[in-house]
């Protein structure tokens, strides 16, 4: 179902005209109200009046996470504090937190966009939406919550934690849609099995759809979750600085790339090293400009997420451009002896291998000035039960060879007992890099 038929299927020309109007308005607002942007624009010698076409976007300055940190907490706000009705914050892995704010209209738009996202996943007002993203300063819980209510569905605001109780609630209340991180979905699946419950048995569990995001996950992981749980696992993307979840969403019709809600966000792909805009279809860093955000509007925000844009018309009828599944963040790309490796590439290899569970961790170290990578992955109970030493050795060899073949790096593979790696309730920490600091 398309939640906002008119906006989501606007003919390209009309969409671009709307974007241009909104871009000019955005520039006027930030130039007049945010000293950081007044200075940046002045330094580059541009004013809002210079924006005559969407191509002029590339003459505008970038905004980076460090700018938000430097102006902590309210320095980039474009409206008086009285007009801000909500704050969220994101901690990130390093440094100070960043604080983002929302006006009444920002919250309203966000609810609309998350409602669009849930509808694109196939959800509607008859659904029972179980939200296991964390509620609080993290945008996942409340973002999904307002969207599900806007859609008219019934919401179970479960938040994260108390995993066994969540599974029982999902059974008792008849959850049909689950919103959480993909790693937490796996955890719920495991907890269900321990309770003798099976998500695939639709007489027992009514779940049909997952709306998963907030961390990178591979296509292979999608297949695993879908197979284990008997559901459609859909990908939702977003980030707190831009809004929260609901910036882009896959449609159930194509399940190939996430539609970026272009009437609210203007995407570009740049070369992360040079900052140059790349041609359509090339892989690089996603940059987003918020067209309608009032409280903290951002011009050309560098997301650090690596993806590419797909402008082939989609069979669902939406005209908004799609972005490919995020393959990783430019800042969590590992460089192992000079070779670039994304954790999601390792995940893809592990998840498609019979006999393993989708639970893994990557440890990186430097020994005698040489990078060492160890991939720890849990064996499945079945594999372990039939496990002569020979089979285990063969599995280790097989994985080491696949990683070498596909990524060009040598990894130590360590097979570990089922359930021995720690489980996350929110974003999984896949990599422990001991080389830093």
Residues in touch with ligand DLL (CB under 6 A): 90, 133, 139-140, 213-216, 235-240, 244-245, 303, 305, 326, 329
Closest approach, Cβ 63 to ligand DLL, in A, equals 14
Q: Which is nearer to ligand DLL, 60 or 118 (CB)?
A: 118
Closest approach, Cβ 25 to ligand DLL, in A, equals 25
Q: Which is nearer to ligand DLL, 31 or 301 (CB)?
A: 301
Reading the block at residue 254, the tokens are 């194509």
Q: Which is nearer to ligand DLL, 83 or 90 (CB)?
A: 90
Instruction: Write the burial class of residue 194 (CB in 10 Å: 0-12 exposed, 13-18 middle, 19+ buried).
Output: exposed
- Quickly count: other Cβ atoms within 10 Å of residue 421's Cβ: 16
Phi, psi of 199 (to 5 degrees): -60, -25
Closest by alpha carbon to 221, among 366, 350, 343?
350
Residues near 252 by Cβ (< 8 Å), separated by ≥ 6?
A: 120, 121, 122, 209, 232, 234, 316
Closest approach, Cβ 148 to ligand DLL, in A, equals 13
Q: Residue with CB nearest ligand DLL?
A: 213
Closest approach, Cβ 323 to ligand DLL, in A, equals 10
Closest approach, Cβ 92 to ligand DLL, in A, equals 8
Distance CA 412, CA 410 (A): 7
Closest approach, Cβ 235 to ligand DLL, in A, equals 5
- Measured over the CA atoms of residue 129, residue 133, residue 135 and residue 137, the dihedral's sign is negative
Find out whether 198 and 192 touch, Cβ atoms under 8 Å. yes
Q: Which is nearer to ligand DLL, 139 or 357 (CB)?
A: 139
Q: Which is nearer to ligand DLL, 46 or 137 (CB)?
A: 137
Q: Which is nearer to ligand DLL, 101 or 238 (CB)?
A: 238
Closest approach, Cβ 281 to ligand DLL, in A, equals 19
Closest approach, Cβ 219 to ligand DLL, in A, equals 12
Residues near 400 by Cβ (< 8 Å), separated by ≥ 6?
A: 410, 411, 412, 413
For 58-94, b where at least 16 C-beta lie within 10 A, e where not — what string?
Answer: eebbebbbebbbebebeebbbbeeebbeeebbbeeee
Q: Which is nearer to ligand DLL, 127 or 215 (CB)?
A: 215
Q: Which is nearer to ligand DLL, 27 or 341 (CB)?
A: 341
Alpha-carbon distances of 89 from 73, 137, 206, 272, 351, rounded to whole Å:
10, 5, 34, 25, 33
295 in helix, strand or coil? coil
């Amino acid at each position: 179902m398309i939640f906002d038929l008119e906006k989501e299927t606007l003919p390209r020309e009309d969409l671009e005209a709307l974007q241009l109007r909104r871009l000019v308005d955005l520039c006027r607002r930030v130039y007049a109200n945010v000293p950081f942007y007044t200075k940046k624009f002045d330094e580059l010698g541009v004013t809002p009046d210079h924006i005559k076409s969407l191509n002029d976007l590339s003459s505008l300055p970038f905004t980076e996470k460090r700018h938000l940190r430097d102006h902590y907490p309210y320095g980039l706000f474009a409206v008086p504090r009285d007009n801000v009705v909500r704050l969220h914050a994101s901690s990130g892995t390093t440094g100070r937190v960043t604080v983002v704010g929302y006006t009444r209209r920002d919250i309203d738009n966000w609810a609309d966009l998350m409602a669009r996202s849930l509808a694109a996943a196939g959800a509607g007002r008859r659904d029972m939406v179980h939200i296991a993203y964390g509620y609080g300063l993290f945008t996942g819980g409340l973002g999904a919550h307002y969207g599900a209510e806007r859609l008219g569905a019934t919401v179970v605001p479960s938040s994260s934690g108390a995993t066994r109780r969540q599974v029982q609630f999902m059974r008792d209340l008849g959850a049909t849609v689950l919103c959480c991180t993909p790693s937490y979905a796996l955890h719920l699946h495991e907890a269900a099995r321990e309770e003798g419950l099976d998500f695939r048995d639709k007489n027992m569990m009514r779940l049909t759809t997952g709306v998963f995001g907030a961390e990178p996950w591979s296509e292979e992981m999608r297949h695993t979750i879908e197979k284990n749980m008997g559901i459609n696992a859909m990908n939702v993307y977003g980030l707190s600085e831009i809004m929260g979840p609901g910036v882009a969403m896959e449609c159930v019709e194509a399940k190939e790339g996430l539609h970026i809600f272009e009437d609210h966000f203007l995407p570009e792909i740049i070369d992360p090293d040079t900052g140059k805009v790349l041609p359509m279809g090339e892989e690089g860093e996603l940059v987003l400009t918020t067209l309608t955000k009032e409280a903290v509007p951002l011009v050309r925000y560098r997301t650090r997420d690596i993806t590419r844009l797909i402008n082939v018309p989609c069979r669902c009828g939406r005209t908004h451009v799609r972005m490919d599944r995020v393959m990783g963040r430019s800042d969590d790309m590992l460089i192992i002896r000079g070779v670039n490796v994304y954790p999601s590439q390792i995940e893809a290899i592990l998840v498609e291998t019979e006999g393993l569970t989708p639970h893994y961790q990557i440890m990186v170290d430097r020994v005698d000035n040489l990078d060492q990578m160890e991939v720890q992955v849990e064996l499945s109970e079945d594999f372990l039960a039939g496990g002569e030493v020979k089979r285990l050795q063969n599995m280790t060899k097989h994985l080491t060879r696949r990683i070498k073949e596909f990524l060009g790096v040598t990894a130590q593979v360590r097979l570990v007992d089922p359930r021995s790696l720690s489980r996350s309730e929110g974003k999984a920490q896949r990599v422990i890099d001991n080389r830093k600091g």
